[in-house]
Chain A
Amino acid sequence: MHRDHPTDEFGTPRVTVLSSGRRRALRIGLGGPVGSGKTATVAALCRALRAELSLAVVTNDIYTTEDAEFLLRHAVLPPERITAVETGCCPHTAIRDDISANLEAVEDLEAAVGPLDLVLLESGGDNLTATFSRGLVDAQIFVIDVAGGDKIPRKGGPGVSGSDLLVINKTDLAPLVGADLAVMARDAKAQRGELPTLFCSLVDPDGVAPIAGWVRERLARWRAH
């Protein structure tokens, strides 16, 4: 189905061109602990970007198709643009060790409703070590929230330290849970160096704007590449 480019800069085999010769959609993964707001971020991104981009979403629920159904119920995209992948108790396996089901889902979406500009892949809620394989996504966003405790950035882990974008969500709750945003920003900086971190509150009307801006910028780079 695909023509392979031999490797990327890390030596990982990459598939970037469809058999039609068209460049495939940019794939962005969203991971993070249960309840940090991954699905809400996906929904908000869809609403912010759907007018300007051709979008699709793949969800990786832990034991239901609940996340896919949330997106369907809130009609952020037409149903044919949302696919749920089942993960057999191991959401991190499906996004990292054995990505075949997710790759099939992405390719089926591209075949069914393509051409696509952007595919968002949402992982099932998992622990801080779960990250996406670079064979599956081009960039990944790790979503944590202030209610999970302001120590999370300091604890680090591959998601916090290595993701292309760290989103610290629910800043509106910081005073209520006694989280110190300055401490979180400092720890994130220490863990991530030059990699960007965004604080946001998706309950604000335009709360997703900074994340949407980051996605637009990644897409521009992807297209120029």
Chain B
Amino acid sequence: MSGALLLLADGRFPAGGHAHSGGAEAAVKAGLVHDADGLAAFLTGRLHTTGLTAAGLAAAAAGGFDPAGLDEAADARTPSPALRATSRRLGRQLLRAARVCWPDPVLDGLAAAYPGGAHQSVVLGLAARAAALAPADAALAAAHESVNGPATACTRLLGLDPYQVVAVLARLAPELDLVAEAATRAAAEAVRRQDAQPLPAASAPLLDLFAERHNAWKVRLFAS
């Protein structure tokens, strides 16, 4: 079923991601990312923190974990109000596209239950499930999304050589697989116990600070 996975993970899938930098714009403004090496370090940190957490939530959703329980788990794993709002906005946009691609009463129910948007990772997992993908696929798509968006944003923000940027992503690919595997294992345990506790809750102090700082800016290129 990798065809549906490629579609869901494609940066051109119309789910609103193109307008978000995942904290990269704030990191660039703070002078912490200015070249491909800095981007690689930023993406490594993001992948193993919020990327891992999103992958776990997505895999659990794809594995049939109660979406309301996952919504609470995602809220608790997102202390920054700016990031919670961003996640729900992107979740709503992703759900719009997913419902057209893979019509499913579960997706309709999610839209009705969360008119302001469910968390992006939860929607991603349920979209994967609607597309008959496995939890491991959902985890991989979430991990990919966690680094692909900021990488694209840095290409635009810094004018980085696009070949260097894709090379950074290519070098990260084995770590992406490891993160997705860890998330999938944790999600299987969460589904088995019907308890969100085993799901990763990894966070990064600066990503929370960046999100709040960026949210207060008047002039910015990206929505987050």
Contact = CB atoms under 8 A, between A and B. Distances in A.
B93 A94 contact: no
On chain B, which size bracket covers the interface?
20 to 34
A101 B219 contact: no
A89 B156 contact: yes
Interface stretch (B12-20, B125-133, B188-196, B199-207): B12-20
Contacts of B12: 97-98
B220 interface: yes
B4 interface: no
A103 B221 CA distance: 20
A88 B224 CA distance: 9
Given A1-B111, A88-B156, A98 B20 contact: no
Nearest to B112: A1
A100 B97 contact: yes
A88 B221 contact: yes
Nearest to A64: B219
Contacts of A116: none
A88 B86 CA distance: 14
Contacts, number: 64
B14 A63 contact: no
A65 interface: yes
B221 A63 contact: yes
Interface of A is mostly: loop
Nearest to A91: B19
B107 to A, nearest CB: 13
Contacts of A101: 16, 19, 89, 93, 223
B218 interface: yes
B99 to A, nearest CB: 10
A103 B156 contact: no
B82 interface: no
A40 interface: no
On chain A, which size bracket covers the interface?
20 to 34
Contacts of A36: none
Contacts of A13: 100
A104 interface: yes
Contact of B223 (A88, A97, A98, A103): A88
B18 A63 contact: no
Contact of A88 (B14, B19, B97): B19
Contacts of B93: 100-101, 104
Contact of B19 (A1, A65, A94): A94
A221 to B, nearest CB: 27
A202 interface: no
B129 to A, nearest CB: 21
A18 interface: no
Given A88-B221, A89-B222, A97-B12, A103 B96 contact: yes
Contact of B96 (A86, A93, A94, A100): A100
B168 interface: no
Nearest to B116: A108
B219 A88 contact: no
A124 to B, nearest CB: 11
A40 B103 CA distance: 42
Contact of A98 (B18, B219, B222): B18
Interface in B1-59: 12, 14-21
A99 interface: yes
**Those 6 A-B pairs whose CB atoms lie nearest each other, nearest first:** A88-B19, A100-B93, A86-B223, A98-B14, A89-B156, A88-B222
28 contacts: A13-B100, A63-B221, A64-B220, A86-B221, A86-B222, A86-B223, A87-B19, A88-B20, A88-B21, A88-B156, A88-B222, A88-B223, A89-B153, A89-B156, A89-B157, A89-B221, A89-B222, A97-B12, A98-B12, A98-B15, A98-B16, A100-B14, A100-B15, A100-B16, A100-B93, A100-B97, A104-B92, A104-B96
Given A88-B156, A104-B89, 12 more contacts: A64-B218, A86-B19, A88-B221, A88-B223, A89-B156, A89-B157, A90-B18, A90-B156, A93-B18, A100-B96, A101-B89, A101-B93
Interface of A: 1, 13, 62-65, 85-90, 93-94, 97-101, 103-104
